[in-house]
């Protein structure tokens, strides 16, 4: 069924009993041309673009739980393309362009809202760094506006401009950036992939990766063995565990990243605002809740929950930036497992096992990368060549020293 105003009206008048299932629930086939391990946004996008762009006839997505219940449904929904370094900047630029046409492409409302992302600066040196970043963004072909103090005040007068420790000197605004509905993105890609014949196998945990003579030949799952000549690991925070099934050790650490949402409020935030002197970011959802987060919990964990010191750190940053947040009641918090690389940049590449591909190490950038991540991994799997915008996201850069240290924080996973 194609969604439209007419179909909504027709089904509403009929009591909403004629809606078709959004996707099938098929049984696993003995073999596929390609298998994608992981039913999050990146895995679903990869499967969709394999079928759409490259006409791969037989594709399966293996998800150990239910579609949309992993990191793709546990993030803060921000979409942006304001990266500095070559290798990242062109990739996220490509992703933002795909975001802008995604709803029409998928025939699904992912609630893409280009309300803008404002990064604040609190010193002369930070303002200079933002000017450099803004120039790079514009050279890439995307938008960036360097604002002075009064320019920021016109957009967000509620901020604490005169904090003695962190006075606001200005900011860098990307108008085309914004937010999207995280789980709707997963559902939209799942529905579109299913319509092109992709099998979405839920409750199908991968327990082994079969390798013969240095080449992948399939996987073992809780629903039986499945053969394939091409397998992609797209398992986010579980990437290291899944790769270990093939005998690989990845340059990745898994950490918990917490996020929070308040009670619903009348509109108070015009877009996304980030605190330049603390890793704090905040936006307002379509339901009115303030959605915010900050630094990850700086210890390794596979638990989808965080600890109280990190909660306190985020709340302190929020109060320093905008004291009015102290009047809002926090309704809930959650944690996602993020896969952190030593340089803070992702990996889309082959592995040493022939036919086994890797999409991992997204750090804080996973959700905003969803369309381009799937586009580029599908291109690599289908053609054997890296897509031009992902050519520098190599796995071997940690051995060669050609790292993409976007934050300039050195080879420390928890600092990225």
Q: Residue 159: what pLDDT?
A: 95
Domain-by-domain residue ranges, the chain?
A: 5-79+182-251+343-415, 113-177+253-340
Q: Residue 120: what pLDDT?
A: 97
| Percent of the chain that is helix, strand, coil (3-state, to 5) | 30, 25, 40
Where are the extended beta strands (E) located within 43-162?
59-62, 78-79, 117-121, 145-148
Run means of pLDDT, 10 residues per run, the chain, 416 residues: 86 86 94 98 98 97 93 91 95 97 96 96 95 95 97 95 91 97 95 97 98 97 98 96 97 95 94 91 94 92 90 94 93 93 96 98 95 98 97 95 87 80
Q: What is the topology classification, in CATH, of domain 113-177+253-340? A: D-Amino Acid Oxidase; Chain A, domain 2 (3.30.9)
Q: Residue 14: what pLDDT?
A: 86
Q: Residue 19: what pLDDT?
A: 85
Q: Are 9 and 36 in contact (CB under 8 A)?
A: no
HSE (side-chain half, CA atoms, 13 Å) at 349: 17
C-alpha span between 86 and 401 (Å, rounded): 15
HSE (side-chain half, CA atoms, 13 Å) at 157: 1
User: 5-79+182-251+343-415: what CATH class?
Assistant: alpha beta
Q: Residue 407: what pLDDT?
A: 83
Which H or E run includes 179?
strand 178-179
């Amino acid at each position: 069924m194609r969604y439209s105003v007419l179909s909504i009206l027709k089904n509403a008048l009929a009591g909403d009993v004629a809606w078709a299932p959004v996707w099938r629930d098929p049984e696993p086939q003995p073999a596929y041309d390609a298998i994608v391990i992981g039913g999050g946004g990146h895995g679903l996008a990869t499967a969709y673009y394999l079928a759409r762009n490259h006409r791969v006839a037989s594709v399966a997505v293996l998800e150990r739980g239910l579609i949309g219940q992993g990191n793709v449904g546990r993030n803060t929904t921000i979409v942006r393309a304001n990266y500095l370094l070559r290798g990242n900047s062109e990739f996220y630029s490509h992703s933002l362009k795909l975001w802008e046409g995604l709803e029409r492409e998928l025939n699904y409302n992912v609630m893409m809202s280009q309300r803008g992302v404002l990064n604040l600066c609190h010193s002369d040196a930070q303002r200079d760094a933002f000017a450099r970043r803004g120039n790079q963004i514009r050279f890439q072909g995307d938008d960036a506006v360097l604002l002075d103090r009064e320019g920021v005040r016109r957009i967000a007068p509620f901020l604490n401009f005169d904090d003695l420790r962190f006075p606001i000197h200005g900011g860098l605004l990307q108008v085309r950036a914004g937010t999207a509905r995280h789980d709707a993105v997963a559902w939209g890609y799942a529905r579109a992939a299913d319509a092109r014949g992709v099998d979405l196998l839920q409750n199908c945990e991968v327990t082994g990766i079969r390798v013969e003579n240095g080449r992948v030949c399939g996987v073992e799952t809780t629903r039986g063995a499945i053969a394939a000549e091409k397998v992609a690991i797209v398992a986010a925070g579980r990437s290291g565990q899944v790769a270990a099934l093939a005998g690989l050790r990845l340059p990745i650490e898994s950490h918990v990243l917490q996020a929070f949402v308040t009670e619903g409020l009348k509109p108070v935030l015009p877009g996304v605002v980030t605190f330049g002197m603390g890793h704090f970011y905040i936006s307002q959802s379509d339901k009115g809740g303030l959605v915010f987060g900050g630094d990850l919990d700086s210890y390794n964990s596979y638990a989808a929950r965080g600890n109280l010191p990190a909660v306190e750190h985020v709340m302190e940053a929020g109060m320093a930036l905008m004291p009015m947040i102290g009047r809002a009641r926090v309704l809930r918090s959650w944690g996602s497992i993020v896969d952190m690389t030593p340089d803070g940049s992702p990996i889309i590449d082959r592995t040493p096992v022939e036919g086994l591909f890797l999409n991992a190490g997204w750090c804080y950038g996973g959700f905003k990368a969803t369309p381009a991540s799937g586009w580029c991994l599908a291109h690599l799997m289908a053609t054997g060549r890296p897509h031009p915008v992902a050519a520098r996201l190599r796995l071997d850069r940690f051995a060669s020293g050609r790292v993409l240290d976007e934050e300039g924080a050195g080879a420390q996973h928890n600092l990225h």
